[in-house]
Amino acid sequence: MNRIDQKFSELREKKQPAFIPFITIGDPDLRTSIDIIHTLEEAGAAMVELGVPYSDPLADGPVIQASSMRALRNNRISILDCIEVAKQARSEGSKLPFILFTYFNPVLQTGLDHVFPLLKEADISGLIIPDLPMEEDAELRAIAADYGIHLIPLVAPTSKERVQRIASRAGGFVYCVSSLGVTGTRTEFHTGIDEFLATVKASTDLPIAIGFGISNREQFVRFSTVCDGIVVGSALVRKIEEALPQLADPATRPDGLQSIRAYVEALIS
């Protein structure tokens, strides 16, 4: 059974939402990303989105764009490096379901036939490719299914009539984007967000998760009543950015990791 499915059914039993953090792999470096993955797991993350840094993150706001640039500037992170990070974290005992988050170009450049065996070998359970529209995902969806890897679709409040079609082909869970525009913390969400979430929920038996803009406990609680999962990216990436000086020095590294853990624990428990 796919780790994502397993985790959602465990959490459903406990009537708990899945906290799904997003981090940019390689920001500030690969080893620190592995330590952050372990820290997120200790803090209560249900699964983790491992972001492949990309030079043209068109769907990302300033925080994640800066994070991608740091990762690429520090050490030219490739999609293969990110897959390796997942493999290493697993070999160090992580039980988290891993979701590789990547724009389509790095997958295309590496080649589907090359990427999928590596994803499988690294025990990666899901894939999110924000710039791969449903109309063009047939080949990738078929290969993902062969490897038992969920291709997790994004649905936006404007996806109205497409929601049904997108949800009917989804795997793992349906990622509901809370607002139009790019990633980044928000105080307001798309008007009609609750109706949108109800529409998605009615169109699939899969769990639904919400992302874009969530940063505080009040928002986490609000969306936990409707969604099975809550994704937090920018707010967490910002915390990592603030902790960079501590993470850079072995003497203060534990404090840096602790500040990340404290943020997550305050958010979800």
Kindly list the catalytic residues: 49, 60
Q: Does 220 bind ligand IGP (CB under 6 A)?
A: no
C-beta closer to ligand IGP: residue 102 or 204: 102
* Cα–Cα nearest to 160, from 196, 212, 136: 196
Q: Which stretch binds ligand IGP (CB under 6 A): 132-140, 219-227, 228-236, 240-248?
A: 228-236
C-beta closer to ligand IGP: residue 66 or 92: 66
Q: Report d(CA 147, CA 126) in Å as an integer.
A: 10
* Count of positions on this chain that bind ligand IGP (CB under 6 A): 19
What is the pattern of x (binds ligand IGP, CB under 6 A) and - over residues 8-47?
Answer: --------------x-------------------------
Q: Does 232 bind ligand IGP (CB under 6 A)?
A: yes
Count of Cβ atoms closer than 10 Å to residue 245 Cβ = 10
Handedness of CA 35, 40, 75, 108 (dihedral sign): positive
Q: Is the peptide bond before 21 cis (omega within 30 degrees of 0)?
A: no
What is the pattern of x (binds ligand IGP, CB under 6 A) and - over residues 47-66?
Answer: --x-x-------xx---x--
Binding residues (CB under 6 A) for ligand IGP: these are: 22, 49, 51, 59-60, 64, 130, 154, 183-184, 211-214, 231-235
